[in-house]
Protein backbone atom coordinates (compact mmCIF):
# COMPACT_ATOMS: atom_id res chain seq x y z
CA UNK A 1 0.00 0.00 0.00
CA UNK A 2 1.24 3.48 -0.80
CA UNK A 3 -0.08 6.38 1.24
CA UNK A 4 0.38 9.88 -0.15
CA UNK A 5 0.17 12.66 2.41
CA UNK A 6 -2.11 15.77 1.62
CA UNK A 7 0.62 18.11 2.74
CA UNK A 8 2.53 16.63 -0.27
CA UNK A 9 -0.54 17.15 -2.39
CA UNK A 10 -1.21 20.42 -0.63
CA UNK A 11 1.91 21.65 -2.31
CA UNK A 12 0.35 20.52 -5.53
CA UNK A 13 -3.00 21.87 -4.36
CA UNK A 14 -1.72 25.42 -4.74
CA UNK A 15 -0.64 24.55 -8.26
CA UNK A 16 -3.99 22.88 -8.89
CA UNK A 17 -5.76 26.19 -8.29
CA UNK A 18 -3.26 28.69 -9.64
CA UNK A 19 -1.08 27.24 -12.37
CA UNK A 20 0.21 24.12 -14.06
CA UNK A 21 3.70 22.73 -14.10
CA UNK A 22 5.65 22.82 -17.31
CA UNK A 23 6.21 19.16 -18.08
CA UNK A 24 7.26 16.92 -20.91
CA UNK A 25 5.68 13.49 -21.18
CA UNK A 26 8.15 10.61 -20.98
CA UNK A 27 7.30 6.92 -21.48
CA UNK A 28 8.64 4.54 -18.87
CA UNK A 29 10.38 1.55 -20.42
CA UNK A 30 9.11 -1.19 -18.14
CA UNK A 31 5.35 -0.64 -18.33
CA UNK A 32 4.83 2.11 -20.87
CA UNK A 33 3.39 4.36 -18.18
CA UNK A 34 3.71 8.07 -18.79
CA UNK A 35 5.46 10.37 -16.32
CA UNK A 36 6.66 13.95 -16.54
CA UNK A 37 9.96 15.81 -16.68
CA UNK A 38 10.45 19.55 -16.73
CA UNK A 39 10.37 21.10 -20.19
CA UNK A 40 9.25 24.62 -21.10
CA UNK A 41 7.17 23.75 -24.13
CA UNK A 42 4.49 21.51 -22.60
CA UNK A 43 2.20 21.86 -19.61
CA UNK A 44 0.23 19.45 -17.45
CA UNK A 45 -1.55 19.93 -14.12
CA UNK A 46 -0.54 18.36 -10.84
CA UNK A 47 -3.83 16.44 -11.10
CA UNK A 48 -2.42 14.85 -14.26
CA UNK A 49 0.81 13.90 -12.52
CA UNK A 50 -1.02 12.21 -9.66
CA UNK A 51 -3.30 10.39 -12.08
CA UNK A 52 -0.35 8.90 -13.93
CA UNK A 53 1.33 7.84 -10.68
CA UNK A 54 -1.90 6.24 -9.49
CA UNK A 55 -2.43 4.34 -12.74
CA UNK A 56 1.12 2.99 -12.67
CA UNK A 57 0.83 1.79 -9.06
CA UNK A 58 -2.65 0.37 -9.64
CA UNK A 59 -1.32 -1.63 -12.56
CA UNK A 60 1.22 -3.19 -10.21
CA UNK A 61 -1.43 -4.04 -7.61
CA UNK A 62 -0.84 -1.25 -5.06
CA UNK A 63 -3.58 0.63 -3.25
CA UNK A 64 -2.99 4.38 -3.00
CA UNK A 65 -4.44 6.80 -0.46
CA UNK A 66 -4.31 10.55 -0.06
CA UNK A 67 -3.86 11.33 3.64
CA UNK A 68 -5.14 14.78 4.60
CA UNK A 69 -6.54 17.01 7.29
CA UNK A 70 -9.21 18.27 4.91
CA UNK A 71 -12.92 17.49 5.04
CA UNK A 72 -14.03 14.30 3.23
CA UNK A 73 -16.23 16.13 0.72
CA UNK A 74 -13.45 18.58 -0.10
CA UNK A 75 -10.71 15.97 -0.52
CA UNK A 76 -13.03 13.74 -2.54
CA UNK A 77 -13.82 16.62 -4.89
CA UNK A 78 -10.12 17.24 -5.52
CA UNK A 79 -8.67 13.74 -5.59
CA UNK A 80 -11.45 11.17 -5.44
CA UNK A 81 -10.85 9.84 -8.95
CA UNK A 82 -7.06 9.76 -8.64
CA UNK A 83 -6.54 7.29 -5.80
CA UNK A 84 -7.96 4.12 -4.26
CA UNK A 85 -9.10 6.00 -1.19
CA UNK A 86 -8.76 9.01 1.08
CA UNK A 87 -7.77 9.24 4.72
CA UNK A 88 -9.34 12.58 5.64
CA UNK A 89 -9.79 14.61 8.85
CA UNK A 90 -6.22 13.63 9.82
CA UNK A 91 -7.21 10.00 10.16
CA UNK A 92 -10.72 10.16 11.58
CA UNK A 93 -12.63 9.52 8.33
CA UNK A 94 -11.64 6.97 5.66
CA UNK A 95 -13.08 6.68 2.17
CA UNK A 96 -12.36 3.68 -0.04
CA UNK A 97 -13.49 3.54 -3.66
CA UNK A 98 -15.74 6.54 -3.02
CA UNK A 99 -17.57 5.11 0.02
CA UNK A 100 -17.09 5.54 3.75
CA UNK A 101 -15.03 2.71 5.18
CA UNK A 102 -14.48 4.00 8.72
CA UNK A 103 -15.17 7.10 10.80
CA UNK A 104 -14.47 8.25 14.34
CA UNK A 105 -16.54 11.30 15.25
CA UNK A 106 -15.91 13.53 18.24
CA UNK A 107 -18.10 12.82 21.23
CA UNK A 108 -20.19 15.67 22.63
CA UNK A 109 -17.81 15.79 25.58
CA UNK A 110 -14.85 16.21 23.23
CA UNK A 111 -16.60 18.93 21.22
CA UNK A 112 -17.51 20.84 24.36
CA UNK A 113 -13.92 20.55 25.58
CA UNK A 114 -12.43 21.87 22.32
CA UNK A 115 -14.94 24.73 22.10
CA UNK A 116 -14.05 25.73 25.68
CA UNK A 117 -10.34 25.74 24.80
CA UNK A 118 -10.98 27.81 21.67
CA UNK A 119 -12.89 30.35 23.72
CA UNK A 120 -10.05 30.46 26.24
CA UNK A 121 -7.56 31.29 23.53
CA UNK A 122 -9.92 33.59 21.60
CA UNK A 123 -9.31 31.41 18.56
CA UNK A 124 -11.42 31.01 15.46
CA UNK A 125 -12.06 27.55 14.05
CA UNK A 126 -13.73 25.53 11.33
CA UNK A 127 -15.19 22.17 12.38
CA UNK A 128 -15.67 19.67 9.55
CA UNK A 129 -17.92 16.70 8.97
CA UNK A 130 -18.39 14.36 6.02
CA UNK A 131 -20.34 16.92 3.99
CA UNK A 132 -20.35 20.17 5.94
CA UNK A 133 -18.22 22.70 7.79
CA UNK A 134 -19.02 24.97 10.72
CA UNK A 135 -17.53 28.47 10.99
CA UNK A 136 -16.70 29.32 14.61
CA UNK A 137 -15.74 32.88 15.63
CA UNK A 138 -14.11 33.76 12.31
CA UNK A 139 -13.56 37.28 11.04
CA UNK A 140 -15.21 38.49 7.85
CA UNK A 141 -12.23 37.83 5.59
CA UNK A 142 -11.82 34.28 6.91
CA UNK A 143 -15.52 33.60 6.35
CA UNK A 144 -15.39 34.91 2.79
CA UNK A 145 -12.30 32.81 2.04
CA UNK A 146 -14.00 29.66 3.38
CA UNK A 147 -17.15 30.32 1.38
CA UNK A 148 -15.06 30.56 -1.78
CA UNK A 149 -13.01 27.46 -1.02
CA UNK A 150 -15.64 25.11 0.38
CA UNK A 151 -18.84 26.46 -1.13
CA UNK A 152 -21.50 28.24 0.89
CA UNK A 153 -23.82 25.22 0.52
CA UNK A 154 -21.45 23.21 2.76
CA UNK A 155 -21.29 25.76 5.59
CA UNK A 156 -23.56 25.43 8.63
CA UNK A 157 -24.10 27.34 11.88
CA UNK A 158 -24.63 24.52 14.38
CA UNK A 159 -22.49 21.76 15.86
CA UNK A 160 -25.37 19.31 15.58
CA UNK A 161 -24.38 15.97 14.07
CA UNK A 162 -21.01 14.29 13.63
CA UNK A 163 -17.78 16.26 13.36
CA UNK A 164 -14.33 14.76 12.95
CA UNK A 165 -11.68 17.47 13.09
CA UNK A 166 -11.20 21.22 13.02
CA UNK A 167 -8.87 23.85 11.66
CA UNK A 168 -7.82 26.76 13.87
CA UNK A 169 -7.13 30.38 12.97
CA UNK A 170 -4.78 32.81 14.69
CA UNK A 171 -3.92 36.50 14.31
CA UNK A 172 -0.22 36.72 15.16
CA UNK A 173 2.81 34.70 16.18
CA UNK A 174 2.00 35.39 19.83
CA UNK A 175 -1.55 34.16 19.23
CA UNK A 176 -0.13 31.04 17.58
CA UNK A 177 2.05 30.30 20.62
CA UNK A 178 -0.99 30.71 22.88
CA UNK A 179 -2.81 28.14 20.75
CA UNK A 180 0.07 25.66 20.87
CA UNK A 181 0.31 25.97 24.65
CA UNK A 182 -3.45 25.53 25.12
CA UNK A 183 -3.63 22.32 23.10
CA UNK A 184 -0.21 20.78 23.75
CA UNK A 185 -1.68 17.84 25.70
CA UNK A 186 -4.41 17.10 23.15
CA UNK A 187 -3.37 17.90 19.59
CA UNK A 188 -0.56 17.83 17.08
CA UNK A 189 -0.80 21.17 15.28
CA UNK A 190 0.24 21.47 11.64
CA UNK A 191 0.66 25.11 10.61
CA UNK A 192 -0.26 26.07 7.03
CA UNK A 193 2.99 27.87 6.28
CA UNK A 194 2.38 30.99 8.36
CA UNK A 195 -0.92 31.74 6.61
CA UNK A 196 -2.82 32.26 9.86
CA UNK A 197 -4.41 28.82 9.97
CA UNK A 198 -3.53 25.24 10.87
CA UNK A 199 -5.06 21.79 10.95
CA UNK A 200 -4.75 19.49 13.91
CA UNK A 201 -4.53 15.79 14.73
CA UNK A 202 -5.86 14.31 17.93
CA UNK A 203 -3.24 12.44 19.90
CA UNK A 204 -5.71 9.64 20.67
CA UNK A 205 -6.46 8.92 16.99
CA UNK A 206 -4.39 10.25 14.08
CA UNK A 207 -3.20 9.47 10.54
CA UNK A 208 -1.12 6.60 11.86
CA UNK A 209 -4.16 5.09 13.56
CA UNK A 210 -6.03 5.19 10.26
CA UNK A 211 -3.14 3.53 8.42
CA UNK A 212 -2.99 0.79 11.06
CA UNK A 213 -6.71 0.25 10.51
CA UNK A 214 -6.20 -0.05 6.74
CA UNK A 215 -3.28 -2.45 7.06
CA UNK A 216 -5.41 -4.70 9.23
CA UNK A 217 -8.45 -4.34 6.95
CA UNK A 218 -6.53 -5.26 3.80
CA UNK A 219 -4.23 -7.77 5.55
CA UNK A 220 -1.11 -5.91 4.41
CA UNK A 221 2.19 -6.25 6.24
CA UNK A 222 3.71 -3.07 7.62
CA UNK A 223 6.87 -3.67 5.59
CA UNK A 224 4.79 -3.36 2.41
CA UNK A 225 3.42 0.09 3.33
CA UNK A 226 5.02 3.35 2.10
CA UNK A 227 4.15 6.88 3.23
CA UNK A 228 5.19 10.23 1.73
CA UNK A 229 5.14 13.27 3.99
CA UNK A 230 6.56 16.70 4.77
CA UNK A 231 4.79 18.05 7.87
CA UNK A 232 4.78 17.61 11.64
CA UNK A 233 1.56 15.60 11.62
CA UNK A 234 3.12 13.10 9.21
CA UNK A 235 5.19 11.62 12.02
CA UNK A 236 2.10 9.56 12.82
CA UNK A 237 2.14 8.05 9.32
CA UNK A 238 5.81 7.11 9.58
CA UNK A 239 5.08 5.36 12.88
CA UNK A 240 2.85 2.79 11.18
CA UNK A 241 4.63 2.04 7.90
CA UNK A 242 7.80 0.22 7.03
CA UNK A 243 8.95 2.94 4.63
CA UNK A 244 8.64 6.61 5.59
CA UNK A 245 9.65 8.88 2.73
CA UNK A 246 10.25 12.55 3.54
CA UNK A 247 10.06 15.15 0.80
CA UNK A 248 13.05 17.42 0.32
CA UNK A 249 11.20 20.35 1.87
CA UNK A 250 10.01 18.33 4.91
CA UNK A 251 10.43 19.59 8.46
CA UNK A 252 13.62 18.41 10.14
CA UNK A 253 11.88 16.23 12.73
CA UNK A 254 10.22 14.22 9.96
CA UNK A 255 13.46 13.82 8.04
CA UNK A 256 15.04 12.39 11.20
CA UNK A 257 12.40 9.64 11.23
CA UNK A 258 12.41 8.93 7.49
CA UNK A 259 13.81 5.78 5.93
CA UNK A 260 14.47 7.80 2.76
CA UNK A 261 14.61 11.50 1.89
CA UNK A 262 13.67 12.40 -1.67
CA UNK A 263 13.61 15.70 -3.56
CA UNK A 264 10.87 18.32 -3.50
CA UNK A 265 7.62 17.66 -5.35
CA UNK A 266 8.57 20.02 -8.20
CA UNK A 267 11.90 18.19 -8.57
CA UNK A 268 10.14 14.87 -9.28
CA UNK A 269 10.50 13.79 -5.67
CA UNK A 270 7.64 11.29 -5.79
CA UNK A 271 8.86 9.61 -8.94
CA UNK A 272 12.47 9.40 -7.70
CA UNK A 273 11.34 7.82 -4.44
CA UNK A 274 9.11 5.29 -6.19
CA UNK A 275 12.10 4.21 -8.27
CA UNK A 276 14.38 4.12 -5.23
CA UNK A 277 11.92 1.85 -3.42
CA UNK A 278 11.60 -0.29 -6.57
CA UNK A 279 7.85 0.23 -6.72
CA UNK A 280 8.18 1.17 -10.39
In the prediction, which pLDDT does 48 show? 67
CATH 3.40.50.1000 positions along the chain are: 2-104+205-276
In the prediction, which pLDDT does 29 show? 29
In the prediction, which pLDDT does 230 show? 86
> Taking the chain (280 residues) in consecutive chunks of 10 residues, what is each chunk's mean pLDDT?
43 26 32 34 55 81 86 87 88 94 96 96 95 93 89 90 95 92 93 85 93 90 87 88 90 94 86 89
In the prediction, which pLDDT does 50 show? 72
Nearest to residue 85, comparing CAs of 71, 104, 101, 103? Answer: 101
Scored b (16 or more CB within 10 A) or e, 98-121 reads eeebbbbbbeeeebeebbebbeeb
pTM recorded for the entire structure:
0.82
In the prediction, which pLDDT does 46 show? 60
In the prediction, which pLDDT does 37 show? 34
CATH 3.30.1240.10 positions along the chain are: 108-202
In the prediction, which pLDDT does 20 show? 29
In the prediction, which pLDDT does 265 show? 79
User: Residue 134: how many CA atoms within 13 Å on its side-chain side?
Assistant: 18
Looking at 3.40.50.1000, 3.30.565.10, 3.90.1150.200, 3.30.70.890, the CATH number of the domain 2-104+205-276 comes to: 3.40.50.1000
User: What one-character-per-residue DSSP string does 163-175 give?
Assistant: --EEEEE-SSHHH
In the prediction, which pLDDT does 191 show? 86
The topology under which CATH files domain 108-202 is: 3.30.1240
Amino acid sequence: MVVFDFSLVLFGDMLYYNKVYERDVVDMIDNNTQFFRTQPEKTISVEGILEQVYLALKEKGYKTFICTGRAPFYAKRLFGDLVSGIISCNGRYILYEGKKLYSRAFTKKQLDYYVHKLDQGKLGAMFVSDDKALKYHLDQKQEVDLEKEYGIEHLVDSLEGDFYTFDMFYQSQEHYQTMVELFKEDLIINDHGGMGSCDCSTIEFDKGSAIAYLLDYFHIDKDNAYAFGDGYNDQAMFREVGHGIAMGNAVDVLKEKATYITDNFDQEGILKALYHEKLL
